[in-house]
Amino acid sequence: MQVTILFEKITRVHSEILVLGFFQDVRPISGYAAEIDWFTNGMISSLIQENKISGVLGEATLLATSKVLTPKILLVGLGQKRDYSYKILQQLSIHVLEILARLKVREAIAELWGQEGCSLDLVCCLDVFLQGCIGSPSHVTQTEPTEGMPALITFLTHHSDRIKEFTHRIREYERTRTQPPSSGGLSQGLGIRRAETKR
């Protein structure tokens, strides 16, 4: 699996699917989900008002739109903001990877959850997300570690000033996690791609 960090307007990114989150107890919704909501004339807000989605932890809704370059959106419930933690983020990352595998998604752009008014450190959020991805049960049960998993995940961030930190952490994580097959550990090192900082 290749991982990269991207600083870009959400309307300019193109992939198979966008993975965005929203909290159950934050209204109006915030972050990238709010931006998509605006560009789709309130598509997400309407679903919330109609009680079709709520943001409860682990809730996953697949949406389609022609208003942005990436036509599919996986909207994930983050639960209560006051309860949000690194442990929940890790659980969500595993959950999302399993959904993407079932959808046979090869490339995805995912929001780096935790950047919208949370007390969690963003670099730690990236680290936890990566640990959750690599630790997914789907990886353990498959003959090929990356079989069924996306070939490329791009994490989207509003924080251009932390791109170097994010990139460094991914590289550091690759060095510590990549092991030769003979060691008995997982050998699916993360391929590092160039981080972009366009606006």
Report the domain count for the chain. 1
Where does 40-85 have alpha helices with state H?
43-49
pLDDT tens-digit readout, 90-115: 999 999 999 999 999 999 999 988 76
Helix axes 86-102, 122-134, angle to 10 degrees: 50
- Residue predicted with more confidence, 4 or 115: 4
pTM for the whole thing? 0.82
Cα 58–Cα 63–Cα 68 angle in degrees, nearest 5: 125
User: What H or E segment, with its residue span, contains residue 97?
Assistant: helix 86-102
Question: What CATH number should be reported for the domain holding residue 157?
Answer: 3.40.220.10
Whole-angstrom Cα distance, residue 141 to residue 34?
37
Average pLDDT over residues 22-39: 95
Nearest Cα neighbor of 68 from 111, 7, 12 is 12
* Residue numbers of the domain that contains 22: 2-197
Check the CA dihedral 91-92-95-96 and report its sign: negative
